[in-house]
Amino acid sequence: MDKERAEQYRIGDSKFGKGVFATQAITEGSLVLKLTGPQISLQEVYLKGEHQCNPLQIADEMYIDLERPGVLINHHCNPNCGIRDDVDIIALRDIKEGDEIFYDYSTTISDDFEEDGTEFFMSCDCKDVKCRCKIGDFKHLTKSKQRYYISKNVVMSFIVEKIWAKKIKNPLTLKHESNILS
């Protein structure tokens, strides 16, 4: 748990179950909290199973098994926060006291395929006007959304490294906008 910034947030009821809420106004660019938890391998993720593990991908086959309060931060397609330096939740815009803290889970995912060969997707119910209805790999975000997150420096470092190594198409140089996660 990030005790240093604990006065900035509280855990409360959310339309998604539990969530993390601002207890004071937070300005754009400010650190909201640090994500904590032990590092585990992809194999450990599969061994623990989805009900005993809360994985945040930090490398191709490395994860942080998230602890509270970070594990309770919900996804949103138009989030007010993002993850910088792989563990820092920072405000992407000014956040009012009482607002729920959100980040876009797709900025943390770069799994080419699940064990059975299918791509990872989960449903989204954020109800934003531009809700994608599903959460998946960063490469499936629109190029404009990818550019926005990269410009804000809130994409996991291993994904950015793949982009620069050209293992993922560089959204900063592409003009084509078609994608399955609009």
pLDDT tens track for 99-152? 999 999 999 998 765 555 567 788 999 999 999 999 999 989 999 999 999 999
The pLDDT value given to residue 177? 42
Looking at the chain, the whole-number percentage of residues with pLDDT higher than 90 is 68
Count each helix (H run) and each strand (E run) in the chain, helices first. Answer: 3, 12
Query: Which domains are present in the chain?
Result: 3-164 (2.170.270.10)
Give residues with Cβ within 8 angstroms of 140, minimum separation 6: 106, 179, 180, 181
Nearest to 25 by CA among 4, 7, 3: 7
DSSP 115: T
Looking at the chain, the whole-number percentage of residues with pLDDT higher than 70 is 84
Question: What confidence tier does 53 reach under pLDDT thresholds 50, 70, 90?
Answer: confident
CB 32 within 8 A of CB 81: yes
The pLDDT value given to residue 10? 95
Average pLDDT over residues 68-95: 97
Where does residue 88 rank: exposed (0-12), middle (13-18), buried (19+ CB within 10 A)?
A: middle
Q: What are the b/e assignments for 8-21, b being 16+ CB within 10 Å?
A: bbeeeebeeeebbb
Nearest to 11 by CA among 92, 69, 82, 77: 69
Lowest mean pLDDT among 1-10, 56-65, 78-87: 1-10
Q: Which helix (H) or strand (E) holds 102?
A: strand 102-103
Tokens of 68: 């509270």
Report how far apart the first and last C-alpha atoms of the chain are (Å, whole number). 34
Stated pTM of the model: 0.85
pLDDT of 28 strictly over 80: yes
Neighbours of 104 (CB within 10 A): 27
